[in-house]
Structure 1
Amino acid sequence: MSKAFTRETEGEGDDDDQDGAASSLPAGTKNYITPAGYTRLRDELLQLIDEERPKVVEVVHWAASNGDRSENGDYIYGKKRLREIDRRIRFLTRRLEIAEIADPALHHGGDQVFFGATVTYADEAGDERTVTIMGIDEADTLAGQVSWVSPIARALIKARQGDVVRLTTPMGVQEVEVLKVDYPPPAQA
């Protein structure tokens, strides 16, 4: 029998870790997330449930009523898209259920690095970099955000402005100096 006609085993092809963007949490740790990150994930979940999924279901229903499903592109693509949406909904639901909202504004004005801090540091060569320590599900390296479980974040956490910390990299241990620590201001009510 051709591979095309075999059924995927359970779990195979059902990888809920969405495109590597959100890696799994270390065992026994909490899923810290900023209030803004939580809101973005919740909004995405609601948009998928309330808007996108019903539209795709409607297209699939219409395509199924057209007869032969084996050569019906709308039906085939729609079913595939529904699986993708349902997988993302399951993923977001699980992540939001275990999310621990941590507001970085509580540390505004402090000089010690905690979750949510924007830290400017210099490496041994004197190159300065700025990173914001975010939750696993919201970090965007292209925007200068790193996950709180990343090596640089782990090295910086609990350091203070002016401290020199050791960062373990694939190329060896490197010392970095914390130059500046910032937090967002508290939200105005």
Structure 2
Amino acid sequence: MGRYRPPRQRGSRYITPEGEQTLREELHQLWKVERPQVTSAVHEAAKNGDRSENGDYIYGKRRLREIDSRVRFLRKRLDELEVVDRIPADTGKVRFGAWVTLEDEDGQEQRWRIVGPDEFDVKSGKLSMDSPLARGLLGKGLDDEVVLHSPAGEKHYWVTGIHYDGV
């Protein structure tokens, strides 16, 4: 057995419709496309004889375990997720799914979308609602100040724009 790892803290269960679609596409790709290909490769490698020194067989079995593990995770996660496909009644406040424009102390602007933990991508401007910055933003309105405490010290941001897709 491997070393003990304590259970990970569960992320929030909210997700955007786009995020849910991405997870469903990944599940389909793994289960219907990739797994049958790897299974076939393992079957062919098993025919070659000594499996203990057969790299294709060893790698294929390892890849099957990885695929099965990810498929189990995705199925469980998709069952418990709640898709947020409505715009909140008060669009003047930062809520889940909002695009938020922030201005820092130097006048630099950043634009973030508040999304679920299963779909965050910092490079494309998607921020997990469980992150410290997003938690500080939730519930704020235009021109509100957000203080982010980090190891480098406090950082101050001001909300300069709030936009929801479809509005």
Q: Distance in 2 between matches of 1:165 and 1:14?
A: 38
Q: CA RMSD in A?
A: 2.3
Q: Give the structure-2-normalised TM-score.
A: 0.89
Task: Report the secondary structure of 2:52's partner residue.
Answer: coil
Correspondence 1:96 to 2:81: no
Specify which of 25, 34, 38 is matched with residue 20 of structure 2: 38
| 1:137-148 alignment, distance < 5 Å | 137-148=118-129
Q: CA deviation at 1:108?
A: 8.5
Task: Report the secondary structure of 1:39's partner residue.
Answer: helix
> Deviation digits for residues 9-33 of structure 1, max 9, x if unmatched?
1xx3898x9xxxxx7425xxx4111
Task: Report the secondary structure of 1:130's partner residue.
Answer: strand
Specify which of 98, 111, 120 is matched with residue 117 of structure 1: 98
- How many percent of aligned residue pairs carry the same amino acid? 46
> Deviation digits for residues 9-63 of structure 1, max 9, x if unmatched?
1xx3898x9xxxxx7425xxx4111011011101111221111111111111111
Q: CA deviation at 1:175?
A: 2.5
| 1:147-162 alignment, distance < 5 Å | 147-162=128-143
Structure 2 residue aligned with 1:131: 112
Correspondence 1:71 to 2:71: no
The unaligned stretches of length 5 or more in structure 2 are none
Structure 2 residue aligned with 1:5: none
Correspondence 1:171 to 2:152: yes
Give the AA of the match of 1:106. I
Q: Distance in 2 between matches of 1:109 and 1:66?
A: 65
Q: Distance in 2 between matches of 1:166 and 1:130?
A: 16
Correspondence 1:85 to 2:64: no
Q: Distance in 1 between matches of 2:75 and 2:132?
A: 27
The unaligned stretches of length 5 or more in structure 1 are 1-8, 18-22
Task: Report the secondary structure of 2:39's partner residue.
Answer: helix
Q: Distance in 2 between matches of 1:182 and 1:14?
A: 44
Q: Distance in 2 between matches of 1:108 and 1:59?
A: 53
Q: CA deviation at 1:109?
A: 8.4
Deviating above 3 A after TM superposition, structure 1's stretches of 4 or more consecutive aligned residues are none
